[in-house]
Structure 1
Amino acid sequence: MGEEFLRWLRFVLCACVGAAFASLGGDAAAESVATPNFVDQHQRIAKPDLSSRQRIRFLTSTDYPPFNFLDERGRLTGFNIDLSKAVCEELGVLARCQIEALPFADLVPALRRGDGEAIIAGLAMNATTRREFAFSQPYFRYPARFLVRRDRAMATPIADHMDGKVVGVTAGSSHAAMLRSFFPNAEVQTFPDRLEALSAVRQGKVDAYFGDGVSLSFWLESDAADKCCVFADGPFLSDRFLGEGLSVAVAPSDTALADAVDYAIAQLVAKGRMTELMLRYFPISAF
């Protein structure tokens, strides 16, 4: 993710995550948040034996909210942190599990040195990183979403009703390229940053904004949004434009650990614990 994205997401998260969690109690949250399943439940993975493992250290960073970040007391927290603990618990190795936070640039060198066994910090899974690491199956994928004013709803499916619609998007972003590819009939208006584009939606200068569903879900709950807007249609997923999702990276020789993570995540999904984690960190659905 780019620095501009991270700065904007930190701002939005700090501004609204507390209010969002306070406003959604257990049952209400379950009704409000769609929790997608990216695990193939028909796949059969044998339960791994990790009894010989002396340590399983997950390496992460502190600059990737809501997945891994420092809370207001300086404590490491986030979806990835709790997922790491849940994976270790499911594998029966919680007592031997560790989580260490490093600057993002130091994660790969640390794994190469053997200072950790896995990276869970949003490391991109692509042709280059696949040559250097083994990966678990994706446990999360970033959705693209349309955001519109409440009083200017767009008919769905949006792809069939794009004629004459002006859609804002951040200039030079992967979402700009995806918008032009997926919706060639849209009249695209680019903006230098997200906040300016979202302001244009609020003021009715554009019909919609197309961008990252995760960050937009938090913005919708922020004071800046002031309940102006809602998602329309989607979610829209694309490996080509948005990447293959979030996975756990391990040393290329340690595919057994990647398989163990796959097994644990499949169990967490089947038992409903993945949904619990989603509800904890995503009070407004990005999907």
Structure 2
Amino acid sequence: MAELNRWIGRLATTAVVVLAFVQPPAAQQPGGSDDPVLSIPTFWDPKRRVERPPAGSVQAIRFLTTDDFPPFGFLDENGRLTGFNVDLASAICAELDISCTIQAREWDDLLRALEDGNADAVLAGIAITVAARELLDFSDVYLRTPGRFATRADMEPFALTADGMAGKTLAVVARTAHEAYLAAFFPEVGRKLYPTVDEARAALRNGEADAFFGDGMQLSFWLQSEAADGCCRFIGGPYLESRFFGEGMAVALPRDAVDLKQAIDSALASLFENGTYAELYLRYFPVGFF
């Protein structure tokens, strides 16, 4: 188990997978917009149909998650377990019309419980890696966190190209995947490195930088925060290269749980088609990051 925990990271970031489709994002999103236009991401191929396993083959699902990682899993003011992952697990079971339990465990206990047969599935952002796939199976990806650019709301929009960013200064956190991405794809654009994300975003807010590049989900929460004070907005669309941003979030499963994986994959696709996924996304991510 110690070797397994070394291989599997805390949070799956974002990725392009073989079957991943994203609706075109809004060109400019908030803070700064009184009428934001949100784009709901989808990671399911509309031409692919996942057949459900035979009736009765999956009668219940014991989900595990964590309660210390908002907005994915946390305790509300009444001490009730809630969050995006929690509600998604409930929606999966409702779609399959089966009973399920959703319990919170310490991060270090999640995979041990799965390995020991005390849980059927873990919905907690287990990183999808080559090493992890040798020991676990994963459902289809249900969420990714892309890299995104933000500028001040009072700036004229500019193209996210070498010519469009000529003379601009980009704030980015040093020694991160986002710095590496800029170095690889925007090598001619000036970058100002900061030791922390708070300092990098403050540089954008205070006008020390013309744009910031970082984790889209974190950025969406900052844009609506008091720290941002309505200063800034997204510009351009999501960047999803898996070499830099990981392979996304999926339900972790035992490798031999073929029927369970098929059932969960079919439920996820149905939840997108019937609008449930969009409702959950907007509930927990009111400033969309796609």
TM over 0.5: yes
- Correspondences of 1:11-22 after superposition (within 5 Å): none
Per the alignment, residue 21 of structure 2 pairs with none
Per the alignment, residue 37 of structure 2 pairs with 32
Within the candidate set 143, 162, 165, 1:162 is matched to 165
1:2 shift after superposition: 7.0
Per the alignment, residue 61 of structure 1 pairs with 66
**Structure 1 residues not aligned, in runs of 5+:** 6-19
| Aligned mates of 2:114, 2:156 — CA distance in 1 | 48
Within the candidate set 276, 279, 290, 1:276 is matched to 279
1:75 shift after superposition: 1.8
Asked if the contact 1:67–1:79 (Cα under 8 Å) also holds between the matched residues in 2, the reply is: yes
Are 1:41 and 2:46 counterparts? yes
| Aligned mates of 2:163, 2:248 — CA distance in 1 | 28
Equivalent residue letter for 1:233: G
User: Which TM-score applies when normalising by structure 2?
Assistant: 0.85
1:159 shift after superposition: 4.6
Asked if the contact 1:145–1:210 (Cα under 8 Å) also holds between the matched residues in 2, the reply is: yes
Per the alignment, residue 204 of structure 1 pairs with 207
User: Which TM-score applies when normalising by structure 1?
Assistant: 0.86
Kindly provide the CA deviation profile for residues 59-106 of structure 1, in whole angstroms up to 9, marking residues without a partner as x: 10112221112223322111111110111111110xx20111011111
Are 1:51 and 2:90 counterparts? no
Asked if the contact 2:52–2:262 (Cα under 8 Å) also holds between the matched residues in 1, the reply is: no
1:162 shift after superposition: 2.2
- Correspondences of 1:1-287 after superposition (within 5 Å): 32-49=37-54, 51-93=56-98, 96-287=99-290
- How many pairs align? 262
Identify if the C-alpha distance between structure 1 residues 159 and 260 changes in structure 2 by more than 3 Å, giving closer, same or farther: farther
| Aligned mates of 1:130, 1:153 — CA distance in 2 | 45
What is the RMSD computed on CA atoms of the aligned residues? 2.1
Say which is worse superposed, 258-267 or 54-63, in terms of deviation: 54-63
| Aligned mates of 1:67, 1:49 — CA distance in 2 | 31
Consecutive aligned runs of 4 or more in structure 1 exceeding 4 Å deviation: none
- SS class of match (2:154): helix
Equivalent residue letter for 1:271: N
Equivalent residue letter for 1:67: F
Kindly provide the CA deviation profile for residues 9-39 of structure 1, in whole angstroms up to 9, marking residues without a partner as x: xxxxxxxxxxx9xxx9xxx7xx632111111
| Aligned mates of 1:67, 1:218 — CA distance in 2 | 13
1:186 shift after superposition: 1.6
| Aligned mates of 2:206, 2:128 — CA distance in 1 | 38
| Aligned mates of 2:43, 2:270 — CA distance in 1 | 13
* Structure showing the higher helix proportion among its residues: 1
Per the alignment, residue 12 of structure 1 pairs with none
- SS class of match (2:150): strand
1:52 shift after superposition: 4.3
- Percent of residue pairs identical: 45
1:284 shift after superposition: 0.7
| Aligned mates of 1:102, 1:130 — CA distance in 2 | 22
Equivalent residue letter for 1:201: L
Asked if the contact 1:142–1:212 (Cα under 8 Å) also holds between the matched residues in 2, the reply is: yes
**Structure 2 residues not aligned, in runs of 5+:** 1-8, 14-29
- SS class of match (2:238): strand
